[in-house]
A = this chain, B = another copy of it.
Amino acid sequence: MGLITLISDWGLSDYYVAAVKGTIYRYHPDAQIVDISHQIQAYNSYEAAYVLKNAYGNFPEGTVHLIGINTEESLDNIHTVAYYKKHYFIGCDDGIFSLIFDDEPESIFELNIPMESSSHTFSSRDRFAKAAAHLASGGSIEELGSIRDSIVSKILFTPPINDNALKGMVIHIDNYQNLITNITKSDFDNFIKGSKFEISFRTKKYRIFKVHDSYDDVVYGEIVALFTGNDILEIAINKGKAASLLGIHKKDPIVVKRM
């Protein structure tokens, strides 16, 4: 046993993914390795954090998550393992941990196990894989390095609220071209408080006055707003491609108004 997940921007055409997996198996032959995604946009820690934040909680307690993006170590960016909600996270702390967690992790350690090769370019294989194998095979986090006080803080844009408007934005466009916002169900409910509302986009042409339970609550080709399995507001077109049909891009505003 010993579940290890991988997330990275390595793509699937190269030897990078396999090199990391081979190394894990060398140190822990019984590991179960799961790919979260290797198609994160190059160097985009925000996208990696979004995907991992929504994936990790589905895994059993004790799962080890190896984060293979922006892994070059520096004085500011420390190779780190954090323990949070009974999951382990290994990566280079450029602030990505703070984007994944909702509050401070229970423990934070600086990885100081030796690198496998003289090169500094492939930390995921040369250091993180060993640390992941160590944890997944039952080793303690304390053995991996020295304690750190806190993680680097990066701020996610949480939607500002004033008297009349909750101003969110599109933070992700998924494979169906559904628009994922940064508006949570609890933020939405707290703001609306049962009154009537309007959800509007960059273009004035489309407005939504209702949140549905499922895509099929509207006919094919119709716009629908709903809260997804992770309680985040999503704008979609039933069986259609919302992003291109509505001309909406990442970071475009999604505004909720009380009426």
Contacts and interface: CB of A to CB of B under 8 A. Distances in A.
Interface of A: 1, 3, 5, 9-23, 25-26, 29, 32-40, 42-43, 50-52, 54-60, 63, 72, 74, 117, 119-122, 125-126, 174-176, 213-216, 226-229, 231, 234, 239, 241
Given A15-B52, A122-B228, A21 B1 contact: no
Given A14-B175, A120-B214, 10 more contacts: A3-B29, A12-B39, A15-B37, A15-B51, A17-B36, A18-B58, A22-B55, A119-B229, A121-B215, A122-B228
A29 B72 CA distance: 33
- What is the copy number of this chain in the assembly? 3
Nearest to A172: B14
Which of A18, A51, A52, A55 has most chain B Cβ within 10 Å? A18
A43 to B, nearest CB: 5
B14 A37 contact: yes
A164 to B, nearest CB: 28
B226 A51 contact: no
A35 B227 CA distance: 27
A117 B42 contact: no
